[in-house]
């Protein structure tokens, strides 16, 4: 074999080899007593999660790409905060913006009862978010709590330092999965249908999922009973009537919890999140509780507090009515803002949301989270931000939370 060919093969092997990362500081908290599951979703500790994967499982996960659906699930031995779970299912998560290859800093889904059929402290699964767009390490946790403060159903969050086959993958957000147990905790009746609305691929191009006749089966049924999307279709038909009539009729008014929807939209605006229902539709879910109006809530809040070096501490999204007047934006937003009664509700929610999110509770949580994760953010061997960005982003978010009234500049 020629020397030139050997050199070429060596360069190819180096290009295909996984990147090398140094180990970060050990920022996980000492093991705690495991009573209930609150220790997993805590603002005062960082748990350690260890995953052991065999060579075949590693190669399967390495083969995943951002457009690969459905994702493969592999077997892993998992330990959480020094407690051995045993065999769990592991798959990569994430899509546009957040997907990263296995050898970098991917998002994961841990299916805790995939192989044993047994739940871990009542949990079926856990989501581990890579926070690659978050230089502060606290955007998502703050956003989910903001929805909670306004009575919009949301997931609990925690933090973990993740190790895979002994390699330090850095700091992760631990996100409570929205499953049947979550539904029972957030609604009087958790036996209804929960759907995910994000996007579907047409070739390599994503198309946002929204209520529209003929596209109802684009929603993913996450929990509940397959009824052929008839509940989704009912909303799509009501949206069509509202577009034609320019108002929400009595039947449509009874189908949706418009009060919570107005709160959700205003919280999105206050957080500066233009990657949700307000500007989307994207990253949302809908729940049909038996005998009650449909509730809309968020899933994936990494677009919140879009502050980076050089930005002022004012992330609130400006409201542009022309977006919906031109037929853009989410169908539910369009229907609400075209209807005088619903639009008035939206207007009234502006000050109510700002008052709640500026009363000091969110700021106190932000300060607590910053103290908890700062070392882990800076020491994360796979982080995507520089040290200056880490510091500026955290400081700007805390400044925004402290000022509060800045949100009032957005209409």
Sign of CA dihedral 344, 350, 353, 355: negative
Res 323: pLDDT? 55
pLDDT, tens digit, 9 for 90 and up, residues 207-257: 889 999 999 999 999 999 999 999 999 999 999 999 999 999 999 999 999
State the pLDDT confidence band at 23, using cuts at 50, 70 and 90.
confident
Q: What is the pLDDT of residues 148-175, one digit of tens each?
A: 999 999 999 999 999 999 999 999 999 9
Say whether pLDDT at 328 is over 80: no
- Judged by average pLDDT, the poorest of 4-18, 93-107, 270-284, 397-411 is 4-18
Three-class DSSP category at 312: coil
- Distance, CA of 220 to CA of 272 (rounded, Å): 27
Contact present, 208 and 280 (Cβ < 8 Å):
yes
pLDDT tens readout for residues 351-373: 899 899 999 999 999 999 999 99
**Pick from 19-33, 52-66, 279-293: least confident:** 19-33
Q: How confident is the model at residue 7 (pLDDT cuts 50, 70, 90)?
A: very low
User: pLDDT category, 30, cuts 50, 70, 90?
Assistant: very high
Q: Is the pLDDT of residue 297 over 60?
A: yes
The predicted structure's pLDDT at residue 384: 84
d(CA 351, CA 39): 34
Q: What is the reported pTM?
A: 0.90
Tokens of 232: 């989704």
Cβ-in-10-Å burial (0-12, 13-18, 19+) of 246 comes to exposed
Burial grade of 232 (CB within 10 A; 0-12, 13-18, 19 or more): buried
**Would you state the structure tokens that stand for residue 165, as one six-digit string?**
């086959």
Beta strand 107-111 with 83-93 is antiparallel
Backbone angles phi, psi at 210, to 5 degrees: -145, 170
DSSP string, 16-30: HSPPP-------PPP
């Amino acid at each position: 074999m020629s020397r030139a060919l050997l050199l070429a093969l060596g360069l190819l092997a180096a290009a295909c080899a996984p990147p090398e990362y140094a180990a970060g500081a050990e920022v996980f908290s000492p093991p705690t007593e495991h009573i209930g599951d609150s220790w997993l979703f805590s603002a005062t500790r960082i748990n350690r999660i260890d995953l052991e994967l065999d060579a075949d499982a590693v190669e399967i996960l390495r083969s995943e790409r951002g457009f690969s659906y459905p994702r493969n699930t592999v077997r892993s031995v998992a330990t959480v905060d020094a407690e051995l779970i045993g065999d769990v299912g592991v798959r990569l998560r994430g899509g546009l913006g957040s997907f990263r290859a296995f050898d970098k800093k991917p998002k994961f889904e841990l299916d805790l009862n995939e192989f044993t059929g047994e739940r871990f402290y009542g949990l079926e699964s856990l989501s581990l978010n890579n926070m690659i767009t978050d230089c502060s390490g606290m955007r998502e946790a703050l956003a989910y709590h903001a929805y909670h403060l306004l009575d919009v159903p949301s997931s609990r969050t925690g933090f973990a330092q993740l190790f895979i086959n002994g390699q330090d993958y850095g700091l992760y957000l631990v996100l409570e999965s929205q499953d049947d147990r979550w539904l029972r905790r957030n609604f009087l009746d958790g036996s209804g249908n929960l759907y995910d609305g994000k996007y579907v691929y047409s070739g390599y191009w994503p198309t946002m999922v929204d209520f529209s006749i003929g596209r109802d089966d684009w929603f993913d049924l996450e929990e509940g009973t397959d009824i052929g999307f008839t509940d989704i279709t009912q909303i799509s038909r009501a949206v069509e009537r509202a577009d034609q009539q320019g108002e929400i009729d009595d039947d449509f008014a009874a189908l949706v919890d418009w009060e919570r929807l107005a709160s959700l939209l205003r919280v999105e605006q206050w957080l500066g999140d233009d990657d949700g229902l307000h500007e989307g539709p994207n990253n949302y879910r809908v729940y049909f509780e038996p005998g009650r109006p449909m509730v809309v809530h968020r899933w994936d809040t990494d677009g919140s507090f879009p502050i980076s070096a050089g930005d002022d501490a004012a992330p609130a999204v400006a409201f542009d009515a022309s977006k919906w007047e031109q037929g853009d934006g989410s169908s539910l937003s369009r229907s609400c803002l075209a209807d005088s009664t619903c639009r008035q509700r939206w207007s009234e929610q502006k000050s109510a949301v700002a008052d709640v999110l500026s009363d000091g509770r969110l700021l106190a949580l932000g300060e607590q989270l910053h103290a908890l994760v700062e070392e882990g953010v800076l020491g994360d061997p796979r982080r995507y931000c520089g040290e200056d960005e880490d510091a500026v982003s955290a400081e700007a978010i805390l400044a925004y939370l402290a000022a509060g009234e800045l949100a009032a500049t957005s209409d």
